[in-house]
Structure 1
């Protein structure tokens, strides 16, 4: 990508009330820049459903990253309704259900009141300095790469994430697998909460 100028949207507040506008921003830049790979975080499927309605699934490689099984504890198998997941797969969405790139064992130790580990600190710093969705965009870019769901890691992708539920952050990223995390590049933040 050569030198480009972007209009950046800074939402007044984080949260799902920004989802529709964030998705329109993602689609605009996907079309303008011919970006074919769209990676999004979706915990319950609401954002994934909206993306499936907005993007032409014949044209775009849409990858949904959701929480790992038992993410919220051993009593809840999966937050994303598995029937809904199957329906969205039938429409053409791809799914990756796995351990967060910046979590896993570190999160388990932190929850048990052990000292913070570097990756956990890195995630917290990104979340606090920029926004939660920024941290998630970086994380899901690496998770999609690790899962082999991005066919060409030299191509830019659009990542969509949010604060809690919905979408409020959109980034253009050159992805990298977690084993090459320092090669990942955030090329643009298209929208985020203030």
Structure 2
């Protein structure tokens, strides 16, 4: 099998449109039925949905947990979440699989937890790569994407999208069963 990987010179939202185009191209040549996307505000998820409307794909959005930036507030507005739902896109809001309460322990007492080491290891490839791993665990645990089936996962660095992979998700209790099959695109570190 021969596949190409697109590498971006810089990470970040400047790559969102290119990622969406590359994902659409990859989905057209496959039987993948699920796309997991990290879109904290929902803007990238809406853009992705617009581009993939002609495909038989289920898009599932993953946003930050309440309190990520501001106490008692989510990054995604109720209006945007409702718009996504009207488009058939479920948005999951929950604690990050690769930080969670461990981050709170590190902040309070110092040190680093094993889960944070895993997250940092994924970041050596790219921030978006870590995001792809994390959201697939979260969405699989919520029952929103299948375990044991290839999905496309899309993440980014800070905002927007800059990384896309084909992978098989795993639940948190079996996180090391997760498999990355293909890198569609990512920024060069």
Same fold (TM over 0.5): yes
| TM-score, length of structure 2 as denominator length | 0.95
Question: Does 1:130 find its partner at 2:129?
Answer: no
| TM-score, length of structure 1 as denominator length | 0.92
Q: Deviations over 1:41-89 (max 9, x none)?
A: 0011210110120112872110000001111241x51111111111111
Runs of 4 or more above 6 Å deviation: none
RMSD of the TM alignment (CA)? 1.4
Q: Where in structure 1 are there 5+ consecutive unaligned residues?
A: none
2:106 maps to which residue? Answer: 110
Q: Deviations over 1:109-136 (max 9, x none)?
A: 2233521001001101211x20000000
SS, match of residue 148 in structure 2: coil
Q: Is the 8 A contact 1:39 1:65 kept in 2?
A: yes
**Going by fraction, where is strand more abundant, 1 or 2?**
2
Out of 176, 182, 185, the position equivalent to 1:188 is: 182
2:140 maps to which residue? Answer: 145
Question: Does 1:24 find its partner at 2:18?
Answer: no
Q: Is the 8 A contact 1:57 1:93 kept in 2?
A: no
Question: Does 1:89 find its partner at 2:47?
Answer: no
Q: Where in structure 2 are there 5+ consecutive unaligned residues?
A: none
2:56 maps to which residue? Answer: 59
